[in-house]
Amino acid sequence: MPVCAETYRERTSQSALYIPKETLDSLLTETDLKPTEEQRNVITDICADIASDQPMLRLLSADVGFGKTYVAATTGAAVVRNGGTVIWLCPNQPLAVQTRDNIASWWPDLAPGLVIHDSDETQDSKFLIGTTALHHRLPKNFHPDLLVIDESQKFGTFQKNQLAGPATNILNATATCIPRTAALLEWGGMSVSRLTKAHVQKQIKTRLVSPKYREALFESIKRNVLAGHQALIIYPLAKSKEEAAIDRKSAQGAFELWFRHFPGRVRYMHGKLKDEEKLAAIAAMRNDEADILISTIAVETGIDLPRLRHVAVIHPERLGLNTLHQIRGRVARRGGIGRCDLFLPKDVGEDSMKRLEILVKFSDGFDVANANMKLQGFGDLGTDGTSQSGRSLSFIPGHKLDHKEVEWVAERWLP
């Protein structure tokens, strides 16, 4: 079985950056956070890769709230303190701002720079955190010693490779692998580190809700809010103008409905708002000025709301499993019982129901990805492939591969 060329990189001494144990020990004691033994072991493994002459290509897989940001940030801080440079790519502005603020509070001496559409601090820092604005603001031919790609499933192969040079160590971080990534992990030679333990005890109950239980869902959300918790209600992006009009009306109606029940305590957010308005809505929830957020998938990543205990997704069949899992991960960040309700206003097809049942059955993002991979296929495993799911043609021209065929070959021919 050939190794996918995307995971094969030439050895070069320029990729090697030795990080002394003393540096890590110091970084891990300079914050109020107490790393678990699992986190320490993963950090050690990543730093060992960075010290090698084989440029790192590793995936850090951990569910929301399991500490992957802290692990990646500690590694980045170690690189900077030993004379290296770090670029941290985020899928949206709220996540970039939150990540920069966290790292700046943990290790102020790093002075991480923020690179977004209206902020450019590329001249002042060796630790740059930003959105795809990084692609346009960095000096030509500049490549970091370490590239962290946060929520890597959000980016295409070209977007990732554009920031990396031949000697750049690459750390992909995700809470949900897409099918293509899961296949590369299992058969493509990519290294993987998993965080399997949370700092807090929590349980998120996921269920499918049919139209006849609409009122019960409404009352359940209301009880949670009256008990002092927060709720998030998600409307998906529509696929057509007709659906868009319906969705806008429904989302606006939901906002007006909840506002009548909780005057002044409801916020409304969607993709057409300015970034400042999105940040203001999130800040209102985070600062306990609001209890309910009506939103599109703009809150999928980058939102940390300690009081959020209930999320309801309207028309979940329109969203991918990785998106739904990310939304679910916003719940019970500080521990306890959380709820994720997938409300189906009308009947859906058999394939959509099978896909949604994966989310009900599995809570770990890695398990979700593997189940999704077996259901939908790998996507294109070739170096220039862009398809993230479906059957692959890359190994044997003219022949479509599915999970069972590749598994059969791997069991018989791989050591």
Q: What is the pLDDT of residues 270-315, one digit of tens each?
A: 777 787 888 788 889 989 999 999 987 766 565 778 899 999 999 9
Residue 374 lies in a domain: no
Residue 299 lies in a domain: yes
Same domain, 184 and 213: no
Contacts of 356 (CB under 8 A, 6+ apart): 208, 316, 317, 324, 342, 348
Which residue has better confidence, 333 or 165? 165
* pLDDT interval class at 394 (50, 70, 90): very low
Give the pLDDT score at 228.
Answer: 94
Residue 87 lies in a domain: yes
* pTM to 2 decimal places: 0.73
Same domain, 55 and 154: yes
Same domain, 86 and 184: yes
* pLDDT interval class at 19 (50, 70, 90): very high
Which residue has better confidence, 156 or 387? 156
Same domain, 249 and 353: yes
Q: What is the DSSP letter of 401?
A: B
Same domain, 86 and 10: yes
Which residue has better confidence, 186 or 120? 120
Same domain, 37 and 135: yes
Which residue has better confidence, 312 or 141? 312
Give the pLDDT score at 326.
Answer: 83
What's the structural domain count of the chain?
A: 2
Same domain, 149 and 168: yes
DSSP bridge partners of 151: none
36 exposed, middle or buried (CB, 10 Å; 0-12, 13-18, 19+)? middle
Residue 140 lies in a domain: yes
Same domain, 212 and 129: no
Q: What is the mean pLDDT of residues 261-267?
A: 93
Residue 169 lies in a domain: yes
Residue 244 lies in a domain: yes
Mean pLDDT of the chain: 82
Q: What is the mean pLDDT of residues 152-172?
A: 87
Give the pLDDT score at 139.
Answer: 84
As a whole number of angstroms, the distance between CA 352 and CA 350 comes to 6
Q: Sheet containing 146-150: which strands, arranged edge to edge?
A: 119-120, 113-116, 127-130, 86-89, 146-150, 169-174, 57-62, 191-195
* pLDDT interval class at 399 (50, 70, 90): very low
As a whole number of angstroms, the distance between CA 85 and CA 69 comes to 17
Same domain, 67 and 190: yes
Q: How many CA atoms lie within 13 A of 328 on its CB side?
A: 30
Which residue has better confidence, 358 or 278? 358
92 token code pair: 């949206």
Domain boundary among 195, 215, 234: 195
Determine which of 3-7, 132-136, 262-266, 299-303 has the lowest per-residue pLDDT on average.
3-7
Same domain, 18 and 51: yes
Residue that is written with structure tokens 């493509």 in the block: 188
Could you read off the pLDDT of 88-104 as tens digits, one per residue? 999 888 889 889 999 99
**Nearest to residue 314, comparing CAs of 178, 208, 196?**
208
Same domain, 70 and 189: yes
Determine which of 94-98, 169-173, 182-186, 395-399 has the lowest per-residue pLDDT on average.
395-399
Alpha-carbon dihedral angle through residues 40, 44, 45, 47, given to the nearest 10 degrees: 140
What is the CATH number for 80?
3.40.50.300
Residue 32 lies in a domain: yes
Give the pLDDT score at 4.
Answer: 40
Residue 407 lies in a domain: no
Give the pLDDT score at 5.
Answer: 38
Domain span at 281:
202-363
% of the chain residues with pLDDT over 70: 80
Same domain, 180 and 220: no
Give the pLDDT score at 168.
Answer: 95
Sign of the Cα pseudo-torsion (259, 264, 269, 274, in order): positive
